[in-house]
Amino acid sequence: MKKITFKNGVRLTSALCILAIVFGVLFINSCSKNTHSNTVQTTVQQKSTKEAPAVTAVPLQQNEPQNHLVKVANIRLAADGINHEVMFNELAELFTVYDATALASLEEAFNKGQLISVLVNPWSATILKADAASASQISMHSASQVNTDPGTAYKVDLSNTNDDDINHVPEQAVLNTTTPGLVNVIPDMATAQMMFDYIAHQCCALGGPFTIDHCISFQYCEDGCYARAHKMCWIINNKYNYGTHKIFSFANAGSDRLSVKCEKWLGCCVTWWYHVAPIVNIKTPGGVKAYVFDPAMFDQPVLLATWLHAQENPACSSTPHVSMINIQPTSSYWPSGSTGYLFGTDPLYTSTNSTLISYAPLHTCY
C-alpha cells in the first residue's frame, strides 16, 4: 500500500482513514433536545431514483434494552485486560460483554460468520444476551450487497498531524465522480449552511411537521449514524443536486475507541467503533475544501479535522483515538467487517428508513 506524506512531513499510510471522534460543542437551535415527539410524521416525500419497499419498523422505547439481529465485526480484549469489547457491522456503538455465556455465543457467530440475535443496553453500552438467530429471523434478514470500492483511506495520528494537512484532503478523494448530473462543488458557505439548516430541521426532536418521509434521529447519538448519513446524502443529492461522498472514521486498532461527549444532549459520553457522515466540497476564499455535515454534533458544516478531533475526547475514555478514515462513495452504508475496507449498501433505503423510525423517539443522555 502506498504512503502519503503531508506537507508537515508526517507520513500517513493510505490504508484506512484520518480519524475522528465526535464532539458536539454547540447546541443546535434547529434540533432542541427539550422539544421532541414520540411519533414519526410524514408530509412530503422527495424524488428518489428507486422505489423503496414498505417499512414495518416499530419505534423503540427510551431506556429499554434493544434486540438487534447483527453480524459480529470483531471481538477484542478491553483496555482493562479482563473484559471483552464487541463490534457489530450494523451498530456503531462499541459494546462490552461481561457474561461468559453470551461471549461464547458471540465468538461462535464471529468465527462462523453467522447472524446473531443480541439484547443490548445502548445507554450502558453493554451486551445483556446473545442467542443464535432463528431460521425465521435469518429468512427475514435481507443481506446487503458489499461495496468493494477501496475508497480513499488514510491512517493518521491526529496528535502529531497539523490540522491544515488533514483538511487539505486531495480533491479527487471527495469529488463525486460516480453519479451523473450532480454538481461537485457547493459554490459558497452560505449555500452549504442553508442546506445544513434544512437537514437539521428534519430532526425528530422538533416534533414536525417534517418535509421528508421520515424524520432524522440526530438527537439519538448512541447509534444510527449510518442511517442519518444515508438520508442526508439523499437530501443533498435529490433536493439540492450536489454530489456527496461519505467519511467513515474508525477505532479499529488495539483498544482505540471513538469517544464523544454529547454536549448538545446533556453532555454524557458515547463510545463508537466507527462513525460516518456526508462529506462535501465547498468553495471557500482559500480554495475548495472538504466539509462534513453532522447535525448530531454541530450546528454548521465543519472541516474534517474539527470533526475528527471531536471524536477523541479524553474526558470520555482513557484510549480515545481515531485509527483510520475512509472516504467512500455515497452508496456505502455501514462496514462489512472491522478492516475499514468493505462496506454494506442500502440502495432501497430499507434499513435507513427502518432505523430512522425505530430511533425517532429515543434520546441520548437519559
| Tens digits of residue pLDDT in 142-172 | 677 898 888 889 888 899 988 988 887 766 6
pLDDT tens for each residue of 78-108: 988 999 999 999 999 999 999 999 999 999 9
Contact 108, 119 (CB under 8 A): no
Q: What is the pLDDT of residue 265?
A: 65
- With contact defined as beta carbons under 8 Å apart, do 218 and 298 qualify? no
CA Rg, the chain, in Å? 19
pLDDT attached to residue 235:
96
Q: Helices H, strands E: what count in the chain?
A: 8, 19
User: Domain 66-140, CATH 1.10.1060.10 — does that match?
Assistant: no
| Helix orientation angle between 225-238 and 189-200, rounded to the nearest 10 degrees | 130
* 64 has a pLDDT exceeding 70: yes
Between 4 and 245, residue with greater pLDDT? 245
Mean pLDDT of 332-340: 96
Question: Which residue ranges does the chain devote to CATH 2.40.50.340?
Answer: 66-140
Domain 3-50+145-359 has CATH 1.10.287.3510: no
Which of these, 346, 348, 322, lies nearest to 332 by C-alpha position?
346
- List every span in the chain annotated with CATH 3.10.620.30: 3-50+145-359
274 in Cβ contact with 258 (< 8 Å): yes
- Whether 16 contacts 188, CB under 8 Å: no
Q: Tell me what the mean pLDDT of segment 243-271 comes to.
A: 89
Specify the pTM. 0.85
The pLDDT mean for the chain works out to: 84
Per-residue cell: 160 = 502529531
